[in-house]
Amino acid sequence: MTDELTVLHEDNHIIVVLKPQGTASCPDESGDDNLFDAIKRFLAEKYHKPGNVYLGLIHRLDRPTGGVMVFAKTSKAASRLAEQMRGGDFEKHYLAVLVGAPEEKRATLVNYLKKNPVNNMVYICPPTTDGAKMASLEYRIAQEAGGLALAEIRLHTGRTHQIRVQMAGIGHPVYGDMRYGGETAKKGRLALWAYSLSFTHPVTRERLRFMAEPPEDGVPWKAFDLSPLFSL
Q: What percent of the chain has pLDDT over 90?
A: 77
CB 93 within 8 A of CB 195: yes
- Catalytic residue, candidates 11, 62, 89, 217: 62
Q: What percent of the chain has pLDDT over 70?
A: 98
Whether 37 is a known active-site residue: answer no
**Rounded distance, CA 132 to CA 129, Å?**
5
Taking alpha carbons only, the member of 126, 96, 98, 129 closest to residue 111 is: 126
> What structural domains does the chain harbor?
2-230 (3.30.2350.10)
What tens digit of pLDDT does each residue of 171-228 get? 999 999 999 998 888 888 899 999 999 999 999 999 999 999 998 776 789 889 888 8
Which element (helix H / strand E) includes 6? strand 6-10
What tens digit of pLDDT does each residue of 43-75 get? 999 999 888 899 999 999 999 999 999 999 999
**Rounded distance, CA 192 to CA 155, Å?**
13
What tens digit of pLDDT does each residue of 109-156 get? 999 999 998 998 999 999 999 999 999 999 999 999 999 999 999 999
For position 232, what pLDDT does the model report?
Answer: 57
Top-confidence residue, 210 or 90? 210
